[in-house]
A and B are shown apart, each in its own frame.
Chain A
Amino acid sequence: MRTELDLEKVVSELYAPLYRFALALSRNEPQAADLTQETFLILAKQHAQVRDITKIKSWLFTTLRREFLRGLRSQSSHPEVELQPEHQDELVADSGVLQASDAATVLEALAGVDESYRTVLELFYLADLSYKEIAASLDIPIGTVMSRLSRGKEQLRTLLAKTTPRDKIFPRPE
């Protein structure tokens, strides 16, 4: 039996994580707010066609990403960040380094991860989707999700080590 979807409850529970996901994609606050609104509007128009409401969260994040890509067209707003593998080991952030960083720093580092890994990471950290949901959302095999997560996390830690203001962690003597 089909359960009715409580749209307002869905909005209340998911608008904040969706906005954060949109912000990570667009890196623009007004655009993130617009994307979030548009995604819920699509849900409001199409919710009668949503067969399984337990998958609504995954549907929303997938739809938001699709809308973002549709708007993006051919332009690329995510510049490639060149990694330097030979220094990777010494740059990998530990949890102490990470504690000193803020949300903006994490977002900035996330934006610098290679695109193929970044999308998986965003769905993992911001949408809190399982590897199966990520695989379904991106239409890629489960094994690919796992390997991209593994490599993407490594890149992210490297970038966090680069971007974290180290003065905050190791204050310079006066």
Chain B
Amino acid sequence: MNSDAAKEILSAYRSSDRDGADPIFQEALSLMESDSELKKWFEEQHAIDRTIREKLAAIEPPADLQAKILARIRGEKVRRFALPPIWLAAAACLLLGGLAVFYSDRGGPDRFQEFKSDALAMVSAEGGPALDLWTPKLSEAETYLRDHQAPYDEALPTRLKSMETAGCRAFVWNQYPASLTCFRLGNGMLLHLVVINRKAIGDSNIPDGIKSMGDWHVMFQQKDGMLMMWASQAPMEKLKEMLVAALGAAQTRAAEEKITQRRFPKSLKL
């Protein structure tokens, strides 16, 4: 092997820890011991390679790029869950059909209670709910939800629209796409808005007014074929203030219903 051939091979050498054990470099590296010109060339070449890598590594990706990628990946998982294989969907249809017949004579399960419990379990998760997208901008959250075919309220009151959000999440509940948007109320408090198609809870009755469930205050609203659940641990007065803005005073009279039996399931049907 001559010096030129060694230079060509050593051009592909990165570092001793990554390429030191590769036999293809061994002869060229050995030749360097007896060829001072080659050694000098290699050291200079290696220094330049290192500097170029350092310079290029200084390029910072956009600050929100990682979060956006993770949100899209999670959204893809939700989408894939929501779109099962055809044979699985067919089997599910048969099963649901059977259950529908079974329940038609028995009044059916209370889908509303199931939804309320599952949604509360989601927002009351330790450390806060898992979000697909963390963003202070409601517009970005809405774009994300729209991109993921999740329902959301396009006509929020001005006051809520101007509030900062923590972020949002798109998910599927009982085969219905749903969304969670979290607004920041200040003092570390959040106001959660869960939106799902009204059909998801069947014919269940929906209670009026704000309900207290343990540490949580919850209120439901029907709008444009959607069921919206507002939930927060903020003081009742603060919540009323916010929800009056959202719904109008007539609908927000507090029912002050105390539910002593708190029933939060461990997992959502995601």
Note whether A and B form a binding pair.
yes
Q: Does A61 contact B (CB under 8 A)?
A: no
A129, B8: Cα distance in complex, Å: 17
Q: Mark B1-13, 1 if CB is under 8 A from A, else 0.
A: 0000001110110
- Which A residues, 140 to 157, have Cβ-Cβ distances below 8 Å to chain B? 142, 145-147, 149-150, 153, 156-157
The residue that B44 contacts in the complex, of A36, A94, A103, with Cβ under 8 A, is A94
Q: How large, as a class, is the contact surface on chain A? A: 35 or more
A29, B65: Cα distance in complex, Å: 11
Q: Does A99 contact B (CB under 8 A)?
A: yes
A71, B150: Cα distance in complex, Å: 29
- Which A residues, 46 to 63, have Cβ-Cβ distances below 8 Å to chain B? none
**CB-based nearest B residue for A101:** B55
The residue that A147 contacts in the complex, of B8, B24, B62, B76, with Cβ under 8 A, is B8
Q: Does A107 contact B (CB under 8 A)?
A: yes
A131, B14: Cα distance in complex, Å: 9
**CB-based nearest A residue for B71:** A37
Q: Does A44 contact B (CB under 8 A)?
A: yes
B77–A44 contact, CB under 8 A?
yes
- Which A residues, 1 to 27, have Cβ-Cβ distances below 8 Å to chain B? 7-8, 11-12, 15-17, 19-20, 23-24
B5 to chain A, nearest CB (A): 10
A40–B73 contact, CB under 8 A?
yes
Chain B residues near A87: list those with CB within 8 A.
none
> Secondary structure of the B side of the interface?
helix
B76–A45 contact, CB under 8 A?
yes
A95-B51 in contact given A11-B66, A40-B73, A145-B12 (Cβ < 8 Å): yes
A41–B7 contact, CB under 8 A?
no
A98-B51 in contact given A20-B57, A149-B12, A150-B7 (Cβ < 8 Å): yes
A92 to chain B, nearest CB (A): 10
A37-B72 in contact given A98-B48, A99-B51 (Cβ < 8 Å): yes
A15-B69 in contact given A23-B59, A45-B76 (Cβ < 8 Å): yes
A146–B11 contact, CB under 8 A?
yes
Q: Does B269 contact A (CB under 8 A)?
A: no
The residue that A15 contacts in the complex, of B48, B49, B56, B65, with Cβ under 8 A, is B65
Q: Does A91 contact B (CB under 8 A)?
A: no
A146, B25: Cα distance in complex, Å: 11
A110 to chain B, nearest CB (A): 8
Q: Does B70 contact A (CB under 8 A)?
A: yes
A150–B8 contact, CB under 8 A?
yes
B26 to chain A, nearest CB (A): 14
B11–A149 contact, CB under 8 A?
yes
Q: Does B106 contact A (CB under 8 A)?
A: no
B69–A125 contact, CB under 8 A?
no
A-binding residues in B (CB < 8 A): 7-9, 11-12, 14, 18-19, 22, 24, 44-45, 47-49, 51-53, 55-62, 65-66, 68-70, 72-73, 76-77, 80
Top 10 A-B residue pairs of the complex, sorted by shortest distance between their CB atoms: A131-B12, A19-B61, A150-B11, A149-B11, A44-B73, A44-B76, A150-B8, A95-B47, A106-B55, A40-B69
